[in-house]
Amino acid sequence: MRKYVKLEVPEVNIHPLRITEGWKVNYNNFFEIDPRSLEPDDDCWFMFTESLLQLYHEKSSITVDLGWDPGISPDGNYLVLIIKNMDWENPIHEFTSDNYKKVIEYIEFHLKQITSTWWK
C-alpha cells in the first residue's frame, strides 16, 4: 500500500529573468525562494533540484544550465554551467553560489554577452 506525504510548500513564482533574443527556454523551475532563509528541515528544499533552469541559444549552440548541487540539500549551492555543442564534460564557464541574486546577475550577463558577441 502506498503512503502519500503532503509537503508544506508554498505557491511561489519563478524568478523574473531578462532573457535576450534568440534563447529558447527548455524548462524553468527557478523559484523565488531564498535558500539562505530556509531551515534545514523545510519542505521547500524539495524545490531545489539539479534541474532548475535550462536555456538554449541555437545560433551559437550554447546551453545555460542551472541546478542545485547536491539536489534537495541545504548544504548545496546553485551551479550554473555554460556548455558549447552539448559538451557537458567540458563547460566553457562554471559558477557556484548560494546567493540567487548573484546567480541571476551571472546568467543575465552571459545571456547578453552570448547574444551580442559569441555567435556573430
C-alpha cell at 86: 552539448
pLDDT digits (tens, 9 = 90+) for 68-89: 999 999 999 999 999 999 999 9
* pTM of the predicted structure, to 2 decimals: 0.90
Residues 35-78 have pLDDT tens digits of 999 999 999 999 999 999 999 999 999 999 999 999 999 999 99
Query: Grid coordinates in use for 71?
Result: 539536489
72 backbone φψ class: left, alpha, beta (φ>0; ψ -120 to 50): left
Q: How far apart are CA 82 and CA 18, in angstroms?
A: 17
Extract the C-alpha cell encoding 15. Answer: 524568478
